[in-house]
Structure 1
Amino acid sequence: MQFTEEQFKEGQVLLFDKPLNWTSFQLVNKVRWLIRKAYKIKKIKVGHAGTLDPLATGLLIICTGKFTKRIEEFMGQEKEYTGTIVLGATTPSYDLETEIDATFPTEHLHDDLIQNATAQFTGTIQQKPPVFSALKKEGKRLYEFARAGEEVEIPSREVQISEFEITRIKLPEVHFRVRCSKGTYIRSLAHDFGKALESGGHLSALRRTKIGDFDVANAISLENFETALKQAEA
Structure 2
Amino acid sequence: MKQETNEKGYPDFNFLAGERLLIDKPYQWTSFDVVNKIRNALKPLKLKVGHAGTLDPLATGLLIVCTGKLTKTIDALQAQEKEYIGTFTLGATTPSYDLETSPNQYFDVSHLDEEQLRNVCQRFVGELEQYPPAHSAVKVDGERLYEKARRGENVELKPRKVSIFAFELTRIHLPEVDFRVVCSKGTYIRSLAHDFGKALSNGAYLSKLRRTRSGQFHVADAYDVLELTNHIRSLKETGC
TM-score, structure 1 normalization = 0.95
Pairwise CA distance, 1:222: 1.1
Pairwise CA distance, 1:228: 1.9
Structure 1 partner of 2:161: 158
Pairwise CA distance, 1:227: 3.3
Offset from partner CA, 1:27-56 (integer Å, 9 cap, x none)? 1000010111xxxx2411100000000000
Cα distance between partner residues in 1 of 2:83 and 2:101: 25
Q: Is this contact kept in 1: 2:19–2:70, CA < 8 A?
A: yes
Structure 1 partner of 2:22: 15
Structure 1 partner of 2:6: none
Q: Is this contact kept in 2: 1:2–1:228, CA < 8 A?
A: no
Structure 1 partner of 2:4: none
Pairwise CA distance, 1:2: 4.2
1:32 corresponds to 2:39: yes
Cα distance between partner residues in 1 of 2:136 and 2:214: 21
Cα distance between partner residues in 2 of 1:74 and 1:164: 22
Letter of the structure 2 residue corresponding to residue 129 of structure 1: P
More displaced stretch, 183-192 vs 140-149: 140-149
1:200 corresponds to 2:203: yes
Q: Is this contact kept in 2: 1:3–1:229, CA < 8 A?
A: no
Q: Is this contact kept in 1: 2:81–2:184, CA < 8 A?
A: yes
Cα distance between partner residues in 2 of 1:219 and 1:179: 19
Pairwise CA distance, 1:231: 3.1
Letter of the structure 2 residue corresponding to residue 24 of structure 1: S
Q: Secondary structure at the match of 2:115?
A: helix
Q: How does 1:53-72 map to 2 (within 5 A)?
A: 53-72=56-75
Structure 1 partner of 2:119: 116
Q: Is this contact kept in 2: 1:77–1:212, CA < 8 A?
A: yes
Cα distance between partner residues in 2 of 1:129 and 1:85: 17
Pairwise CA distance, 1:138: 1.4
Q: Secondary structure at the match of 1:130?
A: coil
Cα distance between partner residues in 2 of 1:19 and 1:139: 29
TM-score, structure 2 normalization = 0.93
Q: Secondary structure at the match of 1:11?
A: coil
Cα distance between partner residues in 1 of 2:12 and 2:171: 41
Pairwise CA distance, 1:18: 0.1
Runs of 4+ in 1 over 6 A off after TM superposition: none
Pairwise CA distance, 1:226: 2.4
Pairwise CA distance, 1:117: 0.5
Identity %: 56
Unmatched 5+ stretches in structure 2: 1-9
Offset from partner CA, 1:63-96 (integer Å, 9 cap, x none)? 0000000000000000000000000000000000
Q: Secondary structure at the match of 2:98?
A: coil
Letter of the structure 2 residue corresponding to residue 204 of structure 1: S
Q: Secondary structure at the match of 1:143?
A: helix
Structure 1 partner of 2:172: 169
1:215 corresponds to 2:218: yes
